[in-house]
C-alpha cells in the first residue's frame, strides 16, 4: 500500500514549510494528513480509485487532489515546490530526535550546516549552543538524538527483519527442493533490532538452491552466489544471507549461527572441559561426531537442558541449565487477551467490532479497549459524552458476543501537574485503567508515575520508559523507584508489544520479575492488524525470562478482574 509512502511525503512537506518559516496552520494541516494516512487501514489507492478519499475524516479536497496526483503520476507538485532549495541532506536530518525544522534552519543560516557531519562539528565546537534560544543543554540533547538516529539506521527493526525472513523462507519452501529451513542470528533470538537476516537450509544441489535464492522477487543486488552460500540485498537495503549445511550438521549449525557469540564461547569451553570440540559442523570426540543433527542433542551432550534461543545471551542461562532451573517461558499460546488497543473513538481506524473480530481469530477470551483520555487532543481523546457512547456500544457488543469479552478501559494521561486526566468517579467505572505519560517528558516523570500508582483505580503503567527504539531515548525516569512503587501498590507494568517500543525492555522485564512485579502485554494497536504485534511482546517477555505466571494476559478473565479488586483494597 502507498499509505505510509504518502504519509512520509506529507510529513516532509510540513517539515519543509516549517523550515522556511511558513504559517503554523499550514504546517499542521499537512501533519494531520500524514497522521491520518499513517493510521489508515484501507488502501489509499483503492479509496482513490473508488472516489472515496473525501469520505476519510481528516482528508480535505486539497489533500485528496494531491494524493490522486501522486498516485496517477508518481509525483506531487506541492512537494517539489516546497522542498526546492532545501538540500535533501537537511530534510533527512529532521528525523533526528530533538532537532526541529526551526533549529535546523537557524543552524543552516548562521553556521552553514548542510550535512550530518556539519551538525556534529557545530556541536563539538560549541557553536550550535551559542545560537539564539539554544544553549548547552539543547545542543547536548541534539547530540544524543544523533546517536539514536545513527544507531537506528545501522540496524533493522525486529518487525522488518521478521517480515523479510518470512517472505524469503516462504519463497524458498515453495520454489526450492529443501528439507529444513530456519532464520538464525539475532532474529531467531528475537532481539529488538537486527543486523543482517541469516537463513540456514538443508538440501541437495546447493548451487541450484542458491540460484533460486538469488532470484527472490524484490532482490536489488546479488552480493555472492556459490555452492553453499548466497547473499542478496532486497528492497529497503536489507541484506539476507543464505547458508546450506548438511542434514547431519543442521542442529550444530543452527546453534552456532543463532549465537550469541558470548553464549557460544561458553558452550565451546564446556565441550573442551569434557574432551570434545564444538563447531558449526557438530560436536566431536576426537574425529567421531557425537551430536549435530539437532540443537537438543548438542545441549544434552554438554550436560545442559535445552536453552531456548531467546535466552542465549550469557546472562545466567548456562548456570540455570546446569542446575535444571531454566524457566518455563511464556508462549504465545498462553495469551488469553490483549490489554491495550485503540478504536475509532480516539485515534484508530478500527471499530470495536473489527477489534473483536481480530481477537476472535486469535482465539482470545478478552480485549481491553484503551482509547485516549480527553487531554490527548491530538489523538481525539474522549470527553465524557463520547466515553458514555463508547460504553453503550461495548455493552451491545458484549450482549451479542459469545467468544470475546470487551473490557472497558482507558489510557488515561498522567498530566504534567501530576494529576490524572479523569477524576476518580470516572476511573472507578472502568474494568481496567492504563495510566501513561504522553506529554511533559522531562517534568518530574518519576514522581508523576508514582503518584498515579497510588490511585486505587490505576491498574497498569503504560510504556514506562517512553522510548521509541528507532528515534527516542525515553523519559528521564528513575525506573527502580517506579518498580518499587509498583511492588508497594500491586500495580502492573506494561510491556508494550508495538515493535518500535517493546517497553519495558527485556533487561528491565528481568528486573521486574525478580522484584515480583506482574507484567501486562498490550499491542497498543491502532488498527485490527496491530493485534498481531503480540508476538513481539511475548518474545521480549521470553528474553526477560518471564513465565506464564509473570504475565497477567495468561490469566482467565475472572482471575484478571479479581486481581483488580485486590489492588483496590
Q: What angle do CA 495, 498, 499 make, to 5 degrees?
A: 105
Is 519 found in the same domain as 379? yes
What range does the domain containing 488 cover?
332-568
Same structural domain for residues 407 and 525? Answer: yes
What is the domain count for the chain? 5
Residues 48 and 168 in one domain: no
pLDDT for residue 154: 66
303 within some domain: yes
Whether 374 and 287 map to the same domain: the answer is no
**Pair (260, 280) in one structural domain:** yes
- The verdict on residue 144 lying in a domain is yes
Are 411 and 480 in a shared domain? Answer: yes
Of the candidates 84, 35, 29, 39, the residue with the CA atom closest to the CA atom of residue 61: 29
In a domain, 327, yes or no: no
Please report whether residue 373 resides in a domain.
Answer: yes
DSSP state of 55: G
Which grid cell is 331? Answer: 508462549
Clarify whether residues 436 and 374 are in a common domain. Answer: yes
* Residues in CB range of 375: below 8 A, 6 or more apart: 381, 413, 415, 421, 439
Count helices and strands in the chain by DSSP H and E runs: 24, 17
Please indicate, yes or no, if residue 92 is contained in any of the structural domains. Answer: no
Flag whether 229 is in a domain.
Answer: yes
- 91 domain residue, yes or no: no
CA distance 193 to 158: 5
Decide which of 188, 216, 245 is a domain's last residue: 245
pLDDT at 28: 87
pLDDT score recorded for residue 568: 62
Q: What is the pLDDT of residue 1?
A: 53
Last residue within a domain, chosen from 45, 61, 86: 86
Q: Are both 175 and 317 inside the same structural domain? A: no
C-alpha dihedral, 14 to 19 to 20 to 21, nearest 10°: 90
**447 found inside a domain:** yes
Q: What CATH number is given to the structural domain containing 61?
A: 1.10.150.110
pLDDT for res 427: 96
* pTM for this entry: 0.77
Beta-carbon contacts of 136 under 8 Å, excluding residues fewer than 6 positions away, are 126, 129
Radius of gyration of the chain (CA): 26
Whether residue 107 is found in the same domain as residue 71 = no
Are residues 354 and 454 located together in one domain of the fold?
Answer: yes
Q: Are residues 208 and 296 in the same domain?
A: no
Final residue of a domain: which of 227, 245, 263? 245
We report the CATH number of the domain holding residue 348 as 3.20.20.140
417 in the same domain as 553? yes
d(CA 267, CA 281): 14
- Mark the ranges of the chain whose per-residue pLDDT is less than 50: none
Output the pLDDT for position 258. Answer: 97
Tell me if 340 sits within 8 A of 368, measured CB to CB: yes
Amino acid at each position: 500500500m502507498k499509505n505510509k509512502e504518502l504519509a512520509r511525503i506529507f510529513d516532509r512537506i510540513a517539515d519543509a514549510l516549517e523550515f522556511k518559516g511558513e504559517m503554523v496552520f499550514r504546517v499542521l494541516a499537512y501533519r494531520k494528513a500524514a497522521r491520518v494516512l499513517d493510521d489508515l487501514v484501507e488502501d489509499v489507492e483503492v479509496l482513490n480509485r473508488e472516489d472515496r478519499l473525501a469520505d476519510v475524516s481528516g482528508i480535505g479536497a486539497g489533500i485528496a487532489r494531491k494524493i490522486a496526483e501522486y498516485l496517477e503520476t508518481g509525483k506531487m507538485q506541492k512537494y517539489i515546490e516546497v522542498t526546492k532549495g532545501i538540500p535533501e541532506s537537511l530534510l533527512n536530518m529532521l528525523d533526528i530526535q530533538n532537532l526541529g525544522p526551526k533549529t535546523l534552519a537557524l543552524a543552516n543560516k548562521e553556521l552553514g550546516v548542510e550535512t550530518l557531519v556539519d551538525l556534529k562539528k557545530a556541536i563539538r565546537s560549541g557553536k550550535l549552543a551559542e545560537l539564539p534560544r539554544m544553549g548547552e543543554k539543547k545542543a547536548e540533547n541534539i547530540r544524543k538524538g544523533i546517536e539514536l538516529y545513527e544507531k537506528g539506521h545501522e540496524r533493522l527493526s525486529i518487525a522488518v527483519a521478521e517480515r523479510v525472513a518470512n517472505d524469503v523462507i516462504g519463497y524458498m519452501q515453495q520454489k526450492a527442493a529443501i528439507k529444513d529451513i530456519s532464520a538464525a542470528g539475532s532474529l531467531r533470538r528475537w532481539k529488538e533490532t537486527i543486523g543482517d537476516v541469516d537463513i540456514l537450509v538443508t538440501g541437495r544441489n546447493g548451487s541450484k538452491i542458491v540460484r533460486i535464492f538469488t532470484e527472490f522477487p524484490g532482490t536489488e543486488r546479488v552480493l555472492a552466489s556459490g555452492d553453499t552460500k548466497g547473499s542478496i540485498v532486497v528492497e529497503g537495503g536489507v541484506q539476507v544471507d543464505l547458508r546450506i549445511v548438511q542434514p547431519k550438521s543442521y542442529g550444530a549449525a543452527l546453534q552456532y549461527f543463532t549465537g550469541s557469540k558470548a553464549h557460544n564461547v561458553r558452550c565451546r569451553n564446556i565441550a573442551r572441559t569434557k574432551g570434545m570440540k564444538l563447531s558449526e559442523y557438530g560436536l566431536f570426540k576426537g574425529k567421531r561426531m557425537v551430536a549435530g543433527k539437532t540443537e537438543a542433542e548438542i545441549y544434552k551432550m554438554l550436560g545442559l537442558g535445552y536453552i531456548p534461543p531467546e535466552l542465549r545471551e550469557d546472562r545466567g542461562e548456562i548456570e540455570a541449565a546446569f542446575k535444571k532451573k531454566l524457566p518455563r517461558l511464556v508462549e504465545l499460546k498462553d495469551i488469553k487477551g490483549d490489554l491495550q488497543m485503540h478504536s475509532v473513538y480516539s485515534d484508530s481506524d478500527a471499530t470495536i467490532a473489527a477489534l473483536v473480530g481480530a481477537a476472535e481469530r486469535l482465539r482470545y477470551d478478552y480485549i481491553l479497549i484503551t482509547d485516549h483520555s480527553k487531554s490527548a487532543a491530538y489523538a481525539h481523546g474522549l470527553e465524557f459524552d463520547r466515553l458514555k457512547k463508547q460504553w453503550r456500544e461495548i455493552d451491545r457488543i458484549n450482549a451479542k458476543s459469545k467468544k470475546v469479552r470487551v473490557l472497558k478501559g482507558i489510557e488515561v494521561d498522567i498530566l504534567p501537574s501530576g494529576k490524572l486526566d479523569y477524576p476518580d468517579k470516572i476511573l472507578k467505572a472502568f474494568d481496567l485503567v492504563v495510566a501513561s505519560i504522553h506529554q511533559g517528558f522531562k517534568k518530574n516523570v518519576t514522581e508523576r508515575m508514582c503518584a498515579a500508582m497510588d490511585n486505587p483505580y490505576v491498574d497498569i503503567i503504560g510504556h514506562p520508559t517512553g522510548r521509541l527504539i528507532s528515534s527516542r531515548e525515553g523519559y528521564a525516569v528513575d525506573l527502580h523507584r517506579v518498580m518499587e512503587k509498583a511492588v508497594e501498590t500491586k500495580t502492573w507494568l506494561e510491556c508494550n508489544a508495538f515493535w518500535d517500543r517493546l517497553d519495558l525492555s527485556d533487561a528491565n522485564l528481568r528486573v521486574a520479575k525478580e522484584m515480583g512485579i506482574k507484567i501486562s502485554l498490550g499491542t497498543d494497536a491502532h488498527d485490527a492488524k496491530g493485534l498481531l504485534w503480540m508476538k513481539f511482546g511475548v518474545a521480549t517477555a521470553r528474553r526477560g525470562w518471564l513465565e506464564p505466571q509473570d504475565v497477567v494476559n495468561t490469566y482467565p478473565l475472572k482471575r484478571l478482574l479479581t486481581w483488580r479488586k485486590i489492588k483496590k483494597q
